[in-house]
């Protein structure tokens, strides 16, 4: 392999890796193509925080230092790490648009999370746009799962048969 070919391959690898940062990719080996991923198909049967945390929030939002992790100073102070999702989002004012709550339980249409994910119209910072930042939107199935979770009250309870919920122990 020539030095130029090696440099080109290395550059493409680095660019590809960078595209996965703060994206909807869940590491299932599909190269970040959420519309075809296993987790997008799984999303059709989920509306629980445990699944959303594992398949959406952690890999797509908080797995990288510059995104929604720790103090998240460059990301509106919003951490979406396990244990932080509910206290940092539910009934908390959105930083850029404080007339909105990040999540309004039982009301996805008025939850800023759904606006910034591109599921509903609303104000967006022109320098930021929709989330995940600088990446394609989440697949529709994952957007629908987030919407169902919010519509069900945005709790850490897991819905089970007969509408009975159990505590998942995850927030």
Domain boundaries, the chain: 3-167
Q: What is the reported pLDDT for 6?
A: 30
The CB-based long-range contact list for 9-12 (8 Å cut-off, 24+ gap) reads none
Closest CA to 103 of 93, 90, 94, 114: 90
pLDDT tens, residue by residue, 146-167? 999 999 999 987 665 434 444 5
Is the pLDDT higher at 56 or at 162? 56
Higher pLDDT, 117 or 77: 117
Look at residue 15 in the predicted model and tell me its pLDDT: 31
Q: What is the pLDDT of residues 3-30, one digit of tens each?
A: 433 332 322 232 333 333 334 444 444 4
Give whole-number Cα distances, 130 to 46, 86, 99, in Å.
23, 21, 18
Q: What's the whole-number mean pLDDT along residues 141-145?
A: 95
107-117: average pLDDT = 94
Provide the 10 A C-beta neighbour count for residue 95: 13
């Amino acid at each position: 392999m020539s030095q130029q070919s090696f440099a080109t391959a290395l550059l493409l690898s680095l660019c590809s890796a960078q595209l996965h940062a703060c994206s909807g990719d869940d590491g299932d080996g599909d190269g970040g193509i959420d519309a075809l991923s296993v987790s997008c198909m799984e999303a059709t049967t989920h509306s629980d925080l445990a699944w959303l945390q594992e398949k959406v929030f952690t890999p797509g939002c908080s797995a990288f230092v510059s995104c929604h992790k720790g103090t998240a100073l460059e990301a509106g102070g919003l951490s979406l790490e396990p244990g932080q999702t509910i206290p940092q989002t539910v009934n908390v004012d959105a930083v850029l648009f404080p007339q909105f709550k990040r999540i309004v339980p039982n009301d996805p249409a008025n939850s800023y999370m759904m606006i910034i994910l591109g599921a509903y119209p609303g104000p967006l910072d022109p320098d930021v746009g929709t989330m995940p930042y600088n990446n394609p939107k989440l697949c529709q199935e994952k957007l629908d799962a987030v919407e169902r979770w919010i519509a069900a009250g945005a709790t850490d309870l897991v819905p089970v048969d007969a509408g009975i919920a159990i505590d998942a122990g995850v927030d």
